[in-house]
Amino acid sequence: MTNPVPMPTGSAPAPAAVEPLAGGSAGHQPKATGSMRAWQWRGPGDHGLITTAIPAPAEDEVLVAVEASGLCGTDLRILAGDYSHARPAVVIGHEFAGTVVALGERARGFVVGDLVAADPNVYCLDCEWCRRQAYNLCASVNPIGVSRAGSMAEYVTVPARLAVKLPGAFDPALGALIEPLACVLHGMERGGVVGGRTIAVYGAGAIGLMAVVVAVDLGLEVTVVEPLAPRRNRAQALGAAAVERLAGGAQFDYVLDASGAAAAVADGLGRLRKRGTFIQMGVTPQSFELPWTPYQVYQNEWRLIGSNSVADCYQRAAALMPSISEPMRRLVTHTLSLAELDRAIELIADPAAVKVQVDPRR
């Protein structure tokens, strides 16, 4: 694929970017009323499984029966009380796919039975940043699973404008990977990444390995820096060279940090070629300061790029996913039930785990 991350052309994403699934997926029956299970965060160290009412969709929303919900680093930070945007007593979870079981009166583009995934960043469309299509920087963003109820539940409501229909017979586990893939596409777009060049990716967790998949698809020569052997092996299986640490004076056109480790960021900045681009995707400690000077930026014409969340790339990630589904599918290493979420949290630290998902139907 020559360009999986084209520049945006419209004012806002259209509500459907890929082929619809006729008839939806099996296993769910619509529920108009009743209760559901959900995993709620109430404050630092205070979270767990609850029973609550099934939410009713607002007039412009769809109600989705969740079939796959991914766990990520943001969720862990929320559970630890280390994420300032989170509101206590929120159901976590923002990487998901499932079946539409009810629609609000003004929800358009979907029918009951459609398999969907959704951009979790509920943005306003009215502020300066939304007008500039920087939806992740919306002045009043209200993210699913952060400040409004999320997908670690049997059901979740989603604004119809943010949902996408998935192809027939599509695996919901892949649908739940669209959100982190969109984060990677946004980083690549922000960095102006083009094929035929070299890239070093620091960290071979879920985001780092997705960056490998996209970079290989673009035709870059990829090197992964990862201290843990099981994760290096996964990177190699996806088509990258993988090393514990870089030796000598190796330099690259692009360096992407997906680790958030201070030592990795410091080393990566020293690996940029002239006119190289550094893409910061990993979340570092706020107190960390870099050992570089503005003179180095001037002298080498470096580009230092920050990239957080999805921005306007969710639709493109949904459209790209079918063509890279085989390597992406290998990143889902564990699927557990809602009642096992504590176990899922523990697995995140396991070098053998990449993407841990929950299936609320279990």
CATH code for position 95: 3.90.180.10
CATH code for position 257: 3.40.50.720
In a domain, 6, yes or no: no
Same domain, yes or no, for 208 and 265?
Answer: yes
Domain boundaries, position 326: 35-180+311-358
In a domain, 301, yes or no: yes
Same domain, yes or no, for 176 and 56?
Answer: yes
pLDDT over 70, % of the chain:
91
As a whole number of angstroms, the distance between CA 167 and CA 24 comes to 10
CB 344 within 8 A of CB 75: no
Same domain, yes or no, for 50 and 151?
Answer: yes
What is the 3 state secondary structure string of the chain?
A: CCCCCCCCCCCCCCCCCCCCCCCCCCCCCCCCCCEEEEEEEEECCEEEEEEEECCCCCCCEEEEEEEEEEECHHHHHHHCCCCCCCCCCEECCCEEEEEEEEECCCCCCCCCCCEEEECCCCCCCCCHHHHCCCHHHCCCCCCECCCECCCCECEEEEEHHHEEECCCCCCHHHHCCHHHHHHHHHHHHHCCCCCCCEEEEECCCHHHHHHHHHHHHHCCEEEEECCCHHHHHHHHHCCCEEECCCCCCCCEEEEEECCCCHHHHHHHHCCEEEEEEEEECCCCCCCCCCCCCHHHHHHHCCEEEECCCCCCCHHHHHHHHHHHHHHHHCCEEEEECHHHHHHHHHHCCCCCCCEEEECCCC
Same domain, yes or no, for 124 and 96?
Answer: yes
Cα-based angle 161, 163, 169 (whole degrees, multiple of 5)? 150
pLDDT at residue 92 in the model: 97
Average pLDDT, the chain: 89
As a whole number of angstroms, the distance between CA 189 and CA 283 comes to 18
Q: How confident is the model at residue 295 (pLDDT cuts 50, 70, 90)?
A: confident
Please check the confidence at residue 126 and state whether its pLDDT lies above 70. yes
Same domain, yes or no, for 224 and 268?
Answer: yes
- pTM for this one? 0.88
What does the pLDDT look like over 192-236, one tens digit per residue? 999 999 999 999 999 999 999 999 999 999 999 999 999 999 999
pLDDT at residue 87 in the model: 92
Please check the confidence at residue 24 and state whether its pLDDT lies above 60. no
